[in-house]
Structure 1
Amino acid sequence: MKRGTQDFHTLALTGVTWRKSSYSAAEHDCVEVAGLAGSRVALRDSKRPTGGAFRVPGCAWGAFLARAS
């Protein structure tokens, strides 16, 4: 969804603290994660920090991590 010239979803994520996943490769192939209000998380590609983010409920992210490990 666009509002003016900025992406609404990217605009809504300004001011969050991003951290690189500890499972990401050391050569810039990283997934970054940010905690959001309402027990949600956002995920983005560190190579494209302004390319948008995928937002999911925290319980879904936790279930994914449990299955992936």
Structure 2
Amino acid sequence: MNAPELSHATWRKSSYSDADHNCVEVAFPWHTSSYSDAHGNCVEVAVTERVTSVRDSKDPHGGVLTLTPAAWRTFCAAQR
């Protein structure tokens, strides 16, 4: 299995980390959505088994919308 490209991933400390610095970090590889356009109106998505996260690429430290797989499918279907 090839290792994923994580140079642009966002790393977050896992809730399983403890106060003794036994920390686990998880990466969310963000990808520009095919719904983005050439005028800088970009949406990035990070897909995991349990959730799909969506953010504005112009504000990567801003808010993130997190959806269940079913909600993400419904959202994408509504965009067609």
TM over 0.5: yes
8 Å contact from structure 2 (residues 29, 46) kept in 1: yes
Q: Over aligned residue pairs, what C-alpha RMSD do you find?
A: 2.2
2-side partners of 1:20 and 1:51: how far apart? Answer: 16
1-side partners of 2:68 and 2:56: how far apart? Answer: 18
Query: In the alignment, does 2:39 pair up with 1:52?
Result: no
Match of 2:22 in 1: none
More helix by share: 1
- Which residue of 45, 58, 65 maps to 1:33? 45
What is the number of residues matched between the two proteins? 59
Runs of 4+ in 1 over 4 A off after TM superposition: none
8 Å contact from structure 2 (residues 12, 27) kept in 1: no
The Cα of 1:66 is off from its aligned counterpart by 1.1
Which secondary structure does the structure 2 equivalent of 1:15 belong to?
Answer: strand
TM-score (norm 2): 0.63
Structure 2 gap ranges (5+) = 1-10, 14-25
1-side partners of 2:60 and 2:35: how far apart? Answer: 18
Cα offsets for 1:7-32 (capped at 9, x unmatched) = xxx946x6210111112111221010
Structure 1 gap ranges (5+) = 1-9
Q: Which has the larger radius of gyration?
A: 2
Indicate the structure whose relative CO is greater, using CA pairs within 8 Å and at least 6 residues apart. Answer: 1
